[in-house]
Amino acid sequence: EIMLSQSPGTLSLSPGQRATLSCRASQSVDSTYLAWYQQRPGQAPRLLIYGASRRATGIPDRFTGSGSGTDFTLTISRLEPEDFAMYYCQQYDSSLFTFGPGTKVDL
Amino acid sequence: EVQLVESGGGLVQPGGSLRLSCAASGFNFISYSMSWVRQAPGKGLEWLSYITTSSSTIYYADSVKGRFTISRDNAKNSLSLQMNSLSAEDTAVYYCASYLISLHAFHYWGQGILVTVSS
């Protein structure tokens, strides 16, 4: 089973700053099956990035996904107030889906 | 407008059972695989189960295998999760989510429904 870890656990930043979130897998992940989600407090998760680097419909271009193998990154170029939230990476392999523990982007 | 609306949650005693439902609208339900994902209070997301469009393939997380059963009714645009032998560790908000094969990601999410297992 592939495990995902995310770092840092919390990222304390201000609006306008750049956020760099890391997702590391215990084994190599097919980039096709690597996605990122945003979850605001009290809301359901929302798909941001699929295929490691493709933005979902309606996602602003300040969100960028990159990486391959075991190391993936979500970058938010300039934080907007609505971007302060939890972010989860997720992968699929061998009939199992797993989520990382999340990174909280905090003010 | 795309909607996934969960129902059937609530308070249940340890060892009890509960059946969750998810009503889908605003998109072509039969074209999407579906999943259940839960989130314990203050915790992260945990995938539970997955079912393909025709119900021909079903997966479960080890944590619920043998206790939970996923099913769907394409004629009614609905997804279900039968949960048996519940324990306090199953207390969580349960989300239904559509899985779009072309994206290989959970595309649409419901608003979630709270299940509390307590005596």
**CB contacts, 8 Å: B46 with chain A:** 99
Contacts with A102 (C-beta within 8 Å, 6 or more apart), sequence order:
A6, A9, A39, A86, A87, A88, B44, B45
**What is the C-alpha separation between B73 and A79, in angstroms, rounded?**
42
What is the per-residue pLDDT for B52?
97
What is the per-residue pLDDT for B28?
95
* Mean predicted lDDT score pLDDT of chain B: 97
Could you say which residues of chain A have pLDDT below 50?
Answer: none
| Interface contact A90-B109, CB threshold 8 A | no
Q: Per the omega criterion (within 30 degrees of 0), is the bond before A8 cis?
A: yes
**What is the C-alpha separation between B81 and B66, in angstroms, rounded?**
12
**CB contacts, 8 Å: B104 with chain A:** 32-33, 35, 50-51, 92
Tens digits of per-residue pLDDT, A50-74?
999 999 999 999 999 999 999 999 9
The rounded radius of gyration (Å) of the Cα atoms in chain A is 13
What is the per-residue pLDDT for B6?
98
**Chain B residues 8-67 with CB within 8 Å of chain A:** 35, 37, 44-47, 50, 59, 61
- B98-114 mean pLDDT: 95
Count Cβ atoms below 10 Å from residue A16 Cβ, excluding itself: 9
| Interface contact B112-A44, CB threshold 8 A | yes
| Interface contact A97-B50, CB threshold 8 A | yes
Nearest CB to B104 within list A37, A43, A50:
A50
**Angle (nearest 5°) at CA B113 between B95 and A51:** 15
Phi, psi of A88, rounded to the nearest 5 degrees: -125, 140
**CB contacts, 8 Å: B27 with chain A:** none
- B11-31 mean pLDDT: 97
Percent of chain B surpassing pLDDT 70: 100
